Every structure is written in C-alpha cells, then in structure tokens.
Amino acid sequence: MIENMENEKKNRKVKVIDRRRVGLNDDAPSEEPSLKPSYVEQLESKVSRMETALRSKMEELEDEAARSRERVARDAEKRFEEKADALLLDVLDILETVERAAKLVSQDPTTREGFELLRQSLERFLEKNGLEKISALGEDFDPNMMEALSMAPGPRGKVVEIFQNGYFRGDKLLKPARVVVGSGG
C-alpha cells in the first residue's frame, strides 16, 4: 500500500499557478516575464549604452592614432630629406672649392690630376645620391632653375657662361645654376 501511494504521488501532477500571469490567456505564446527588479534592468540598459559609447570612442581613438602615425612618418621622412639635401649642399660646396683650386694649380700636371680625381669622386657621390647637374650652357635662360649674375655679349636670352653649376634632386631644385646671360649684342 505504501508503494501504491508513492506511485500515485509520482504520477500526480502538481499544478503551479504563476500569480504574475493570472488573468492572462495561457494558450497565447508570450515572453517569459522578467524576474529582475526594474532598477537592475535600468542599470543593464545604462551599461549597454556606456559599452556602445566606449566602443565608439575606442574606434575614434584608434583612427586618430593611425592618422598620428602617418603624420609622424611623413614628418620624419620630410626631415630626413631636408637633412640629406643639406648634406648634399655641403658636398656641392666642397666640389666647387675643389674645381676652383684645380684651376689655380693648373701649372703642375700631377696636382691638377689629383684635383681632377677628387672632383670625379665627388661627382660620382652626388650622382649616387640622386643629384642631376643642370646643363645650362647654350640653353635659354630659365629663371626657375637659374640665377643670372650678369649679362654679356652673346645670343639674347641664352646662357653664355656658367659661374656655378645648378643641381636637381628628383623634381626638387636643390641649387640654381649661376650664369651669365647673353644680351644680344
């Protein structure tokens, strides 16, 4: 008999009534009601909004950091180019000094040959570093890449003499050629 009672207890279904749903149609599908207090839902909502704002702010900061890295890289490249140009200008000054000295010691062939070797070595160095000499002799005077020091008899507007060679580095004029321009007389 005890066994029978236990079996009946197991087979008997207990009906639980959810007081939150009293008066609602049990057959209609509905969402499970929230068991959380309203202040917890408010806090969760606030946390969700803050997480969204934080993600947005992080994306903005990452974008700004990427732009900053690009700007720093461009500035570093520009400074490097400026330093390289300054160094090459110093080498050009040395080359011009060597050329003037070679003209002064033209009596001694051995010394002249030594200066010529030094001049060629400096010119090779400059060519390796991207410098191109402006070939101005006999060309039309171009104020964008030449500096007229004086005028002399010769074809009008043509370069008749070069005092100092000019140089380009890539598309940039590093040093203008200093020339004498023909006056047409």
pLDDT tens digits, 94-138: 888 888 887 777 677 788 788 888 888 888 988 898 888 888 888
- 166 and 179 co-located in one domain: yes
Question: Phi, psi (5° rounding) for residue 135?
Answer: -90, 105
Question: Phi, psi (5° rounding) for residue 148?
Answer: -80, 120
Asked whether the predicted pLDDT for residue 57 surpasses 80, the reply is: yes
Q: Return the top range by mean pLDDT from 14-23, 68-77, 122-131.
A: 68-77
CATH of the domain at 176: 2.30.22.10
- 101 and 156 co-located in one domain: no
- The residue range of the domain holding 169 is 132-185
Neighbours of 128 (CB within 10 A): 8
The residues facing 159 across adjacent strands are 181
Domain boundary among 97, 112, 129: 129
Rounded to two decimals, the pTM is: 0.58
- 123 and 69 co-located in one domain: yes
- 120 and 157 co-located in one domain: no
- 78 and 125 co-located in one domain: yes
